[in-house]
């Protein structure tokens, strides 16, 4: 989905939810909540994707990967393990950079000081988003 398509879907979902709530009020009982939960979930997902634009490619690739293995838990667990290990490696490199910077400059690194490691920071952020998504997918898979 393009950025524009996601924005249009978010607006459409928002209007549907507002219309539903104006007609029926906010869902109060568990049964009512379960009826509209998919709509609220979809709205939250699209809203999150719009806010996290740099990680969209990561999220889409994880969704495509996971949908290919939706009956098998093992590939998801393996992907989760590998992603955690990669995140750990990236975090270690970032931490080393920040510690070295602190030793040399006597202060913590600011945003402008992190430019040489910008790609590392961005990849770390993407890995965190990918991990969150994988954990959600696994939890949903375990409930079904």
4-47 pLDDT tens trace: 888 888 888 888 888 888 888 888 888 888 888 888 888 888 88
- Torsion angle defined by CA atoms of residues 59, 50, 116 and 112, in that order, rounded to the nearest 10 degrees: -150
Per-chain mean pLDDT for the chain: 82
Residue ranges covered by each domain of the chain: 1-51, 71-144
Non-local (6+) Cβ contacts of 69 within 8 A are: 75, 76
* pLDDT tens figures, 112-123: 999 999 999 999
Q: In angstroms, rounded to a whole number, what is the distance separating the alpha carbons of residues 75 and 13?
A: 32
Decide if pLDDT at 60 tops 80.
Answer: no
Non-local (6+) Cβ contacts of 50 within 8 A are: 3, 6, 7, 10
């Amino acid at each position: 989905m393009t950025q524009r398509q996601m924005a249009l879907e978010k607006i459409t979902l928002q209007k549907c939810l507002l219309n539903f709530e104006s007609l029926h009020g906010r869902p109060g009982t568990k049964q009512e909540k379960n009826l509209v939960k998919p709509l609220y979930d979809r709205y939250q997902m699209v809203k999150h994707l719009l806010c996290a634009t740099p990680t969209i490619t990561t999220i889409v690739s994880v969704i495509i990967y996971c949908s290919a293995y939706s009956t098998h838990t093992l590939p998801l667990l393996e992907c989760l393990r590998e992603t955690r290990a990669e995140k750990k490696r990236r975090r270690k490199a970032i931490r080393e950079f920040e510690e070295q910077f602190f030793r040399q400059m006597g202060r913590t690194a600011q945003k402008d000081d992190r430019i040489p490691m910008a790609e590392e920071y961005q990849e770390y952020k993407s890995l965190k988003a990918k991990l969150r998504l994988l954990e959600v997918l696994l939890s949903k898979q375990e409930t079904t």
